[in-house]
Chain A
Amino acid sequence: MALFRHKGFLLPLLLMLAVAGGLFVLDLLCGDSGLGPAKGIVLTQIRLPRVLTALLVGASLGLGGAQMQALFRNPLADPHIMGISSGAGLGAAVAVLALPSGALVGLTAGAFIGAFATAALVVLASGKTRSVGTLLLLGIMLGFILSAVSATLQYAADEVSLKRFYSWAAGSFVGNGIRELAVLGCCFAVGALLAGLNARGLDLLLFGDGFAAAAGGRVRRIRSLSLIGVCLMTAAATAFCGPIGFVGIAAPHIARLLSGSSRLALILPLSALCGASVALLADAICFLGPVPLPAGSTVALIGIPVIILVLLKKI
């Protein structure tokens, strides 16, 4: 394949595969309970699902971020920019209020419904709007409205429910089982397939809608296909792990930096690997302190300096 002969692809690809693999092992070695006598069970039942969750969520957000930055021609776009995390937040808030004594499944299910309902709205809107700027504004406004409703619900909620809501909202890769991993994996597979099929179309959008249309690209179709994949991946990731930010912004920047290219055929796989690496590293850092930290915070602690450095072009 011509792609593998591209000097900006093979080396960064091998490098990121090695980095992600190394961080995968490192993250497996980290945990809040010692390995002890039940070593095998702790590793396979607790740590492996957590590490796999971080891997899948990071890769999903990296893949989503690369597409959103191309779609909106904006280096600060990320998978959450269309309001999906706010939708998930509202869903979670409703679940917490409606089922105050319910199990955590209620919250996750609520977040899941909220995220996918928002995703459906976004995809629907993308088929109707002509301008990408209008679409971006719609997404941001949608996010604000959903957050506002969610804040109202939180205001009225009791302390126990709030605590549960906040621990979801802080973001964490902990506590997902085989079922959740299967859903995350399926959403990632569909998202990756759509992204791969759409890579050339997204390249075209980077040069403007007018250019894309003149070259024979169907702009709204390319946009909607991409959004279906991104929304699917983001909705699943957010429902199970809370709103994990910054991976989606940082990963494509690292990918572009490593490859020196903006072609999506190169950036998509590299960005997925970079996203997975950032998430795995952030998850490992969670367990360095005396008490486990929320992954949402450690991701931000790694992600934000990367974004600032990239914007200042220091790396």
Chain B
Amino acid sequence: MNRPDGIAFSIPVLGYPGALLARDIRFSLAPGSCVLLAGPNGSGKTTLLRALASGKASMAADSPLKIVYIPTGIPKVKGFTVREFIRTGCYREEDRSDLAERIEEALSALDIADLGNRDLSTLSDGQFQKAILGIALTRRADLLLLDEPTAFLDPGARRAVLATLRSLTRVAGSAAVSGVRPLTILFSSHDIADALPVADAVLGLTASHDFLVSGPDLSPQALLERLFPVA
């Protein structure tokens, strides 16, 4: 699975104090790919994303990657415009001189430039999810880790967000947003049916703490059947 141009990760032990979730996780992500992370509740999806975000995982790539992690369940706080929200999410960006321009670029890449001055509380859930993606684009992420970006969305909004994820990896691949480096996305989701068509590959964590990677020997469909066996 270790493709020469891939970003290779390895996590010897995944867990947190009091819970061991998986051992010896190894996988690589092709630059510019959109990858689904699936698994039953409690299997460790969020823990895996956090481990990748916090640098606990050892990573091999051609050059250092800018990793942006977006947690799930962000509230739509009244009294913040989309622009102010994105700026808030860029709390620790070192170079802030061109932040305003980067925000505008991100808004137009996401096709939500008209929502820039709207209050967050007036956005639909799908629009808000795009505003959240605006933070990752403004921060010029190379690897974007999204925890449940489609949670609580209605089917229409869910498909729209997934299509946006798909297109971002392509747009970024053509160097329109993130400079020369393609954007790679790893996202967790329970909405398998909608997520599978947009995913280039699937990673899975089973309830019994096995880590699976789709590939030539394991089709995404077969992987999902092992993740969610019919009782």
Residues of A within 8 A of B (CB): 73, 200-201, 203-204, 206-208, 210-212, 214-217, 256, 259-263
Contact = CB atoms under 8 A, between A and B. Distances in A.
Given A259-B79, A261-B80, 7 more contacts: A73-B75, A201-B91, A203-B80, A207-B74, A208-B73, A211-B70, A256-B79
B65 to A, nearest CB: 16
A263 B74 contact: no
Given A208-B74, A263-B84, A200 B79 contact: no
Contact of A208 (B53, B71, B79, B85): B71
B58 interface: no
Interface string B68-90: 11110111011110001100111
8 contacts: A200-B88, A203-B88, A207-B74, A207-B77, A214-B71, A215-B90, A261-B79, A263-B80
B79 A211 contact: no
Nearest to B139: A215
A311 to B, nearest CB: 14
Nearest to B53: A214
Given A260-B79, A261-B79, A215 B53 contact: no
Interface in B168-198: none
A212 B91 CA distance: 8
Contacts of B80: 203, 206, 261-263
A277 to B, nearest CB: 21
Nearest to A206: B77
Nearest to A73: B75
Contact of A263 (B70, B75, B79, B90): B79
Given A262-B80, A263-B80, A263-B84, A215 B75 contact: no
B73 A214 contact: no
A262 B79 contact: yes
Nearest to A213: B71
A217 B79 contact: no
B3 interface: no
Contacts of B77: 206-207, 262
Contacts of A216: 91-92
Nearest to A259: B79
A77 B56 CA distance: 36
Max chain A C-beta neighbours (<10 A), residue from B53, B85, B89, B90? B89
Nearest to B79: A262
A262 B78 contact: yes
A263 to B, nearest CB: 6
Given A214-B53, A263-B79, A263-B80, A200 B91 contact: yes
Given A261-B80, A262-B80, A263-B80, A211 B74 contact: yes
Contacts of B91: 200-201, 204, 212, 215-217
Nearest to A209: B71
B117 to A, nearest CB: 11
Nearest to A210: B71
Nearest to B132: A211
Contacts of A201: 91
Residue of B68, B79, B119, B135 with most partner-chain A CB within 10 A: B79
Contacts of B73: 208, 210
Given A214-B53, A214-B69, A214-B71, A207 B88 contact: yes
A9 to B, nearest CB: 12
Q: Which 6 A-B pairs have the closest CB atoms?
A: A262-B79, A216-B92, A210-B71, A215-B91, A214-B69, A261-B79
Interface in B75-133: 75, 77-80, 84-85, 88-92, 119
